[in-house]
């Protein structure tokens, strides 16, 4: 059944490119790595001295080599987290690498990161925390500091100055990450859209300002797990900091905005490891997630129409620990082994697609829409021919960029994908079977 079109809501070229990346990493290095007793949640009035930041062997090439081994196509560097410490020599204040003993105050992690991204062919992204600080919180009974408040104006100036540095001095930024979103200008927050338009007009922005044409959204948890179905179109954007899970971020097939979800997760145990698994602490290699856990999260993120963003810790030497490097590499090899070469595949426009897997058993079906034409499939089945009867082995509601169906190994002379309901006649980019 083809339903009447609800109007065209389509991705931008940048959102199409982002969806094709599928796997990224987000890299955390901050003062708590060097002073592990520090907790910004428990001690909001205390900040470690920049003198504690002194990694002995910081090597961004090693970081990006690790990311590439995991199959990551983009990497997001956390440039300023909740401590406020900046990983580049910002001119906005002195609380940065400039005031640290690392490389005698002449180092620049952001600059090193961009050079390594270019060397390894990985798209660079930048995380900047602009929302949670002493000036942008809600005060009193729901009162938000307005643009007339001197402190808010001072903080806005700082944010705008730092973002102008990050967005103008290093090159094109593929993804910009706002943890906790942004205080909007009408509530006294900084003016972000004019900066984006001027300096990074092609960037996709996570939890960015409403109205930006290349938004991506939070999936609702930090477990690397999308709900199913999970639509790229949505009427629900968020400005959450990830501390509380949400169950209303699945989107809608008739949503007004194209803002696909990104499923983020730490590489270390979310409940047991230091700072939710996002930051390194000595003696926690045993808290790495298992290979099987990461692979399952791939199925539940990339296989459910989202990207998977894996946390990457950096230790006090300035390196990805060897245990983490090994796990990232194992993950990349396993995904490549499972989905490197299909047994058979097809594509085209229509509602019925057939495959003939003569070379042996298969246990996965991968379905991809051509989302440049929209997200149109609303209900489908996958069936195998057994004698003269078709037997259903999988069914679903949403495909989008990619849907992975997993089932016990089967042998069949013919396999059929049937689109039972759609907004308009869909275009299948790929329907493939894998061992």
Note the pLDDT tens digit of each residue in 56-65: 999 999 999 9
- Percentage of the chain with pLDDT > 90? 81
d(CA 136, CA 149): 11
Residue where a domain stops, chosen among 324, 339, 354:
339
Asked if pLDDT for residue 3 goes beyond 50, the answer is no
Note whether residue 166 is domain-resident. Answer: yes
Domain of residue 275 covers 13-339
Same domain, yes or no: 332 and 385: no
SS3 4: coil
For the record, the structure tokens of 195 come out as 């900066």
Query: How many domains does one find in the chain?
Result: 2
Strands, E assignment, 146-188: 175-177
Same domain, yes or no: 103 and 210: yes
Write down the pLDDT at residue 209.
Answer: 92
SS3 118: helix
Strands, E assignment, 204-284: 204-206, 215-218, 233-234, 257-258, 261-265
Same domain, yes or no: 270 and 397: no
Residue where a domain stops, chosen among 279, 309, 339:
339
Burial profile 15-42: b = 16 or more Cβ within 10 angstroms, e = fewer? bebbbebbbbbbbbbbbbbbbeebebee
Q: Which residue has the tokens 């082994």?
A: 337
Sign of the Cα pseudo-torsion (331, 334, 340, 346, in order):
negative
Same domain, yes or no: 333 and 359: no
* Strand 74-80 relative to strand 123-128, pairing: parallel
Q: What is the pLDDT of residues 362-383, one digit of tens each?
A: 999 999 999 999 999 999 999 9
Note whether residue 89 is domain-resident. Answer: yes
Work out the mean pLDDT of the chain and round it to a whole number: 92
d(CA 309, CA 111): 22
Same domain, yes or no: 20 and 145: yes
Residue where a domain stops, chosen among 279, 307, 339:
339
Asked if pLDDT for residue 142 goes beyond 50, the answer is no
Write down the pLDDT at residue 46.
Answer: 86
148 confidence band (pLDDT: 50, 70, 90): low
Same domain, yes or no: 302 and 423: no
Same domain, yes or no: 371 and 262: no
Same domain, yes or no: 189 and 51: yes
Write down the pLDDT at residue 39.
Answer: 87
Note whether residue 2 is domain-resident. Answer: no
Note whether residue 3 is domain-resident. Answer: no
For the record, the structure tokens of 31 come out as 């003062």
d(CA 122, CA 144): 39
Q: Cα dist. 213→64, 203, 253 in Å?
A: 29, 9, 18
Angle at 324 between CA 242 and CA 51, to 5 degrees: 70
Write down the pLDDT at residue 154.
Answer: 85
Lowest-confidence pick of 124-128, 140-144, 250-254, 368-372: 140-144
d(CA 362, CA 370): 24
Global confidence as pTM: 0.94
Report the phi/psi class of residue 56: left, alpha or beta, with left for phi > 0 and alpha for psi in -120 to 50.
alpha
Asked if pLDDT for residue 136 goes beyond 80, the answer is no
Same domain, yes or no: 335 and 363: no
Same domain, yes or no: 385 and 322: no
The CATH code of the domain that includes 91 is 3.20.20.80
Same domain, yes or no: 371 and 313: no
Same domain, yes or no: 271 and 408: no
Write down the pLDDT at residue 7.
Answer: 64
Note whether residue 400 is domain-resident. Answer: yes
List the one residue out of 315, 316, 333 whose CA is nearest residue 324.
315
Note whether residue 416 is domain-resident. Answer: yes
Q: Cα dist. 34→50, 55, 56, 60, 420 in Å?
A: 10, 8, 11, 18, 56
Eight-state DSSP code of residue 287: G
Note whether residue 236 is domain-resident. Answer: yes
Note whether residue 282 is domain-resident. Answer: yes
The CATH code of the domain that includes 367 is 2.60.120.260
Q: Cα dist. 47→38, 39, 296 in Å?
A: 8, 9, 38
């Amino acid at each position: 059944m083809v339903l009447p079109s609800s109007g065209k809501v389509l991705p931008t070229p940048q959102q199409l490119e982002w969806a094709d990346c599928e796997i990224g990493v987000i890299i955390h290095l901050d003062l708590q790595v060097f002073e592990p007793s520090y907790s910004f949640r428990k001690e909001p009035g205390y900040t470690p001295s920049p003198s504690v930041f002194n990694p002995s062997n910081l090597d961004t090439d090693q970081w990006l080599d690790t990311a590439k081994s995991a199959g990551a196509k983009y990497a997001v560097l956390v440039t300023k987290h909740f401590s406020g410490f900046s990983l580049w020599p910002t001119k906005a204040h002195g609380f940065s690498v400039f005031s640290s003993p690392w490389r005698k105050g002449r180092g620049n992690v952001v600059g090193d990161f961009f050079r390594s991204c270019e060397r390894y062919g990985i798209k660079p992204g930048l995380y900047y925390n602009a929302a949670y600080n002493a000036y942008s919180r809600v005060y009193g009974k729901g009162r938000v500091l307005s643009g007339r408040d001197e402190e808010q104006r001072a903080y806005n100036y700082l944010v705008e100055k730092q973002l102008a540095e990050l967005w103008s001095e290093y090159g094109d930024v593929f993804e910009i990450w706002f943890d906790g979103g942004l205080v909007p200008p009408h509530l006294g927050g900084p003016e972000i859209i004019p900066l984006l338009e001027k300096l990074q007009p092609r960037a996709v922005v996570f939890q960015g300002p409403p109205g930006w044409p290349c938004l991506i959204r939070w999936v609702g948890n930090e477990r690397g797990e999308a709900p199913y179905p999970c639509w790229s179109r949505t009427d629900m954007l968020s400005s959450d900091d990830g501390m509380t899970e949400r169950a209303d971020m699945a989107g809608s097939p008739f949503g007004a905005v194209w803002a696909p979800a990104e499923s983020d997760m730490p590489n270390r145990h979310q409940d047991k490891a230091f700072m939710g698994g996002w930051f390194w602490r000595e003696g926690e290699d045993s808290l790495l997630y298992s290979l099987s856990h990461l692979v399952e999260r791939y199925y539940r993120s990339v296989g459910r129409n989202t990207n998977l963003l894996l946390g990457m810790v950096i230790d006090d030497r300035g390196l990805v620990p060897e245990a983490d490097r090994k796990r990232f590499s194992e993950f990349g090899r396993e995904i490549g082994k499972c989905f490197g070469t299909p047994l058979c595949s097809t594509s085209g426009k229509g509602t019925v697609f057939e495959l003939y897997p003569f070379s042996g058993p298969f246990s996965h079906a991968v379905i991809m829409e051509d989302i440049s034409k929209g997200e149109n499939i609303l209900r489908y089945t996958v069936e195998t021919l057994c004698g003269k009867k078709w037997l259903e082995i999988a069914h679903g509601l949403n495909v989008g960029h990619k849907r992975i169906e997993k089932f016990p190994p089967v042998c069949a002379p013919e396999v059929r994908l049937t689109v039972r309901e759609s907004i308009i006649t869909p275009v299948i980019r790929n329907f493939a079977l894998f061992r």
